Structure 1
Amino acid sequence: MIIKICGVRARDHALTAVDAGADMLGLVFAPSRRQITVEDAASIAEAARFAARGRGRAITLIGVFVNETVERIRDIASSCGLDGVQLSGDEPVIYADALAPLLVIKAVRFDDSAQERAWLIHDHAHVQLLVDARVPGNYGGAGVVADWERAAELARWRSLMLAGGLTPENVADAITRVRPWGVDVSSGVESNGVKDHGKIRAFIAAARAAAR
């Protein structure tokens, strides 16, 4: 089970996630209240990697983008030493080849658009789907639960990561019902809009227990 803590903006929250056993950290470069600068992201990435190495493992750093150009995504990925990118907007499937060999996580929301269908049909080795909640005018981090039923159907034939409204309280149920490759949380481990150390640890512990 891959566990991703997304929307990390502070070094201490990143280190808590690493210490608690997170596999991925998401750094948001798209306009939002969780947006981070390239400089801060690079500093957090370096600290997280150092901490992970001290524990004899690795941490995967993912940059989150919404409708950004391939050139800009590649520039930021290079500057921060990112391992992969998450495309949370309306990006066309041609981005998959354009961003290789970076890991590409593409958010889908079951909106039945032609662009989304293209991502579902094309199975690239370096592309991972992420099922998020469909909230008109919102590209993620809204705390709304995704469609677990459709996600479970998709998970039967495509490996996927589940996001959308996950919390320490419901992540075990989500894993049991959907059987995803991984889970992704942002607002569900926050208190008053700020990452909460206790909730980060509780989420990771609940997800690990459910996966076992």
Structure 2
Amino acid sequence: MTVVKICGVRTPDIAHAALDAGADMLGLVFAASRRQVTPAAAQAISEAVRGHPRGPLVRLVGVFVDRAVAEIRDLVQHCDLDVVQLSGHESLATARDLAPLTIMRAVRLAGDADEAEWLGIDDHTARLLIDAHVPGSYGGAGIVADWPAAARLARRRGVVLAGGLSPENVADAIRAVRPWGVDVSSGVEYDGVKSATRIAAFVRAVRDADVTPVA
């Protein structure tokens, strides 16, 4: 079953809506972004998730861009995060410094040295999240990733596919790439605000794709 990550969650209400819909992971953005959350807001979301009937099944992902290791560790503890997503120019040394925390690394397949070094690692070191390459953007731009390139990588390891996914195209993406998981942010928003209806539609589309035979 494809893992579903809803990224850019900013309120407990949307967190509950995502859990009700069947999401497996929620992303809380600590980097500069219109979806950024404060530590206090992240803690409130975490408490809401842990109190939900599906809370024990759901993993909270903190999204960071070039933050100091000590700051990341503090936020992981303060906000009860399960996974650290590195979305900047972090090196493998950063992942090692964060051990034994679970790491997810955003890779944009642009051939940059700081991203290329991650492509050969195993899933025990870090789960790779494949996103579109958009200069100046660290995610959430709504641009579709390179599915053929992602599919080639997914044949070698489990990946999370991000980049321009929506309820309308996620089934095609799953059939094309066969990822371990899918990540959505702007594709479940109306005018920049998360929509419970769009989130539910996205999860339904993923589950339908999971049971549809590959042509």
Normalised TM-score (structure 1): 0.96
Cα distance change of structure 1 residues 68 and 17 upon mapping to structure 2, 3 Å threshold: same
| Residue 84 (structure 1) aligns with | 83
| Residue 172 (structure 2) aligns with | 173
Distance in structure 2 (CA, Å) of the matches to 1:56 and 1:49: 5
Distance in structure 1 (CA, Å) of the matches to 2:11 and 2:56: 21
Deviations 1:41-92 (A, max 9, x none): 01101111211xx248511000000111111111101100100111111111
Structure 2: stretches of 5+ with no match in the other structure: none
Between 1:161-170 and 1:54-63, the stretch displaced more is: 54-63
Q: How does 1:131-150 map to 2 (within 5 A)?
A: 131-150=130-149
| Residue 42 (structure 1) aligns with | 43
| Residue 183 (structure 1) aligns with | 182
Between 1:128-137 and 1:67-76, the stretch displaced more is: 67-76
Q: Detail structure 1 runs of 4+ shifted over 4 Å in the superposition.
A: none
Cα distance change of structure 1 residues 55 and 158 upon mapping to structure 2, 3 Å threshold: closer
| Residue 97 (structure 1) aligns with | 96
Structure 1 position 126, deviation (Å): 4.2
Distance in structure 2 (CA, Å) of the matches to 1:71 and 1:112: 29
Are 2:61 and 2:84, in contact at CA under 8 Å, matched by a contact in 1? yes
Secondary structure of 2:117's counterpart equals: helix
Between 1:104-113 and 1:116-125, the stretch displaced more is: 116-125
| Residue 27 (structure 2) aligns with | 26
2:63 equivalent to 1:64: yes
Distance in structure 1 (CA, Å) of the matches to 2:3 and 2:148: 20
Distance in structure 2 (CA, Å) of the matches to 1:56 and 1:30: 24
Distance in structure 2 (CA, Å) of the matches to 1:59 and 1:210: 21
Between 1:112-121 and 1:155-164, the stretch displaced more is: 112-121
Between 1:33-42 and 1:92-101, the stretch displaced more is: 92-101
Distance in structure 2 (CA, Å) of the matches to 1:149 and 1:32: 29
2:6 equivalent to 1:10: no
Distance in structure 1 (CA, Å) of the matches to 2:55 and 2:28: 23
Distance in structure 1 (CA, Å) of the matches to 2:47 and 2:133: 33
Name the amino acid aligned to 2:75: I
Are 2:49 and 2:55, in contact at CA under 8 Å, matched by a contact in 1? no
Identity %: 58
Name the amino acid aligned to 1:21: G
Cα RMSD for the two superposed structures: 1.1
Q: Aligned pairs, how many?
A: 210
Structure 1 position 115, deviation (Å): 1.7
Distance in structure 1 (CA, Å) of the matches to 2:100 and 2:20: 28
